[in-house]
Structure 1
Amino acid sequence: MPTVYLAAEQENVLRIHWDEFTFGLIAFLIILGVVYKMWPRLTKALDERADQIEGGIARAQKAEAEADEIRQQYREKLEEAHREYAQELEKAKEQRAAIIAEAREEAQAEARRIVDAAHAQIEADRQQAFAQLKGEIGTLSTELAGRIVGESLSDSAAQSRVIDRFLDELEQSEGKQQAEVR
């Protein structure tokens, strides 16, 4: 019996098992039918996906172009803002210079006015002092002349002449002293 057992074990490996073949063929045909039925949907889905990818690339390129355009507009606006800032800064400098010049002119005019007012006040004070001194000198000279002459100069005309002559001599001597100082 051992030989029979060997014969059964050595069965042909290349032999076709018709039941497995039939089952495999039916399964293959079903899968092929399903793929055949699904093929348009599958290709449509793949085409849509390819369109989406290409559209996405086109949209990305378009968005990149728009971004470049916006970036360029931003740069132009920024450059324009820098130019406007420089212009405003220049205007401010000019205004500052004008304000300083105007303030300087006003200060000089005010200084001239103050100096002129001071000169006028000094001249008024000098005239007042001169008039006061003239009166006092006149009185003193009249008394002195009266003592020298030995009589009273009560006549106002005589007093005026004496006073005027004395003041003229005083002014002449004062002018000579100032000429010698210079």
Structure 2
Amino acid sequence: MNLTAELILAEGELNPVLPHTSEIILGIVAFLLLLFVISKFVAPRFEKLYAERTEKIEGGIKKAEQAQADAEAALQQYQAQLAEARAESARIRDDARAEAEQIKEELRAQAQEEAARIVAQGEARLAAQRAQIVAELRADLGRQAVALAGRIVGESLEDEARRRGTVDRFLSELDSVSAPANK
């Protein structure tokens, strides 16, 4: 049999591989209907969600870049403030050192002035004590010299004017004798 005859015979019989024509038409209509519903309702929603998600991601990236730029600016500002604070602390430290040196010099000058004043007072006291001791020694030496001279001379030297003149003369002779020896 030839091929055409077989097809004709096959038309009358049900072929399990080939569907019926009505099923093919119904499948095509259902496919087109499904394609219309997907293209009209589902695809726009997916596109809208895709666009929103893309905007969120791009917005998040922009926000992250902006936050990173803000963080960089804050870091630069912090570093500038830190450098300024370090410079300020160095200046304050230098000022404090200079002020300490000035105070130390003032205290040294005050101490030297106080020491000079104390030395001057000591010298004045020593001079006063020396003058007092010399006066006491002269008076004592004069009394003893008058008593000794009175014994030697045999006359009384009780007269104050005489005694004073004799003592002064005796002391001046002693000073003139001891002065060349000291030189």
* TM-score, structure 2 as length reference: 0.83
User: Helix, strand or coil: the match of 1:172?
Assistant: helix
Q: Which residue of 2 aligns with 1:130?
A: 134
Following TM superposition, by how much is the alpha carbon of 1:171 offset from its aligned partner in structure 2, in angstroms?
2.1
Deviation per residue, 1:111-134 (Å, 9 max, x gap): 111111111111111011011111
Structure 2, unpaired ranges of 5+: 1-13
Rate the CA distance shift 1:129–1:14 in 2: closer, same or farther, 3 A. Answer: same
Q: Which residue of 2 aligns with 1:101?
A: 105
Q: In the aligned structure 1, how far is the partner of 2:147 from the partner of 2:165?
A: 14
Q: Which residue of 2 aligns with 1:28?
A: 31
Q: Which residue of 2 aligns with 1:41?
A: 45
Structure 1, unpaired ranges of 5+: 1-10
Paired residue type of 2:67: A
Following TM superposition, by how much is the alpha carbon of 1:52 offset from its aligned partner in structure 2, in angstroms?
1.2
Following TM superposition, by how much is the alpha carbon of 1:36 offset from its aligned partner in structure 2, in angstroms?
1.6
Matched, 1:154 2:158: yes
Match of 1:115 among 116, 119, 133: 119
Match of 1:81 among 82, 85, 100: 85
Following TM superposition, by how much is the alpha carbon of 1:37 offset from its aligned partner in structure 2, in angstroms?
2.5
Q: Which residue of 2 aligns with 1:4?
A: none
Rate the CA distance shift 1:16–1:155 in 2: closer, same or farther, 3 A. Answer: same
Q: Which residue of 2 aligns with 1:60?
A: 64
Rate the CA distance shift 1:35–1:147 in 2: closer, same or farther, 3 A. Answer: same
Q: Which residue of 1 aligns with 2:6?
A: none
Match of 2:168 among 154, 164, 168: 164
Matched, 1:175 2:179: yes
User: Helix, strand or coil: the match of 1:153?
Assistant: coil
4+ residue segments displaced more than 6 Å: none
Q: In the aligned structure 1, how far is the partner of 2:61 from the partner of 2:113?
A: 76
Q: In the aligned structure 1, how far is the partner of 2:118 from the partner of 2:35?
A: 117
* TM-score, structure 1 as length reference: 0.83
How many percent of aligned residue pairs carry the same amino acid? 40
Rate the CA distance shift 1:170–1:17 in 2: closer, same or farther, 3 A. Answer: farther
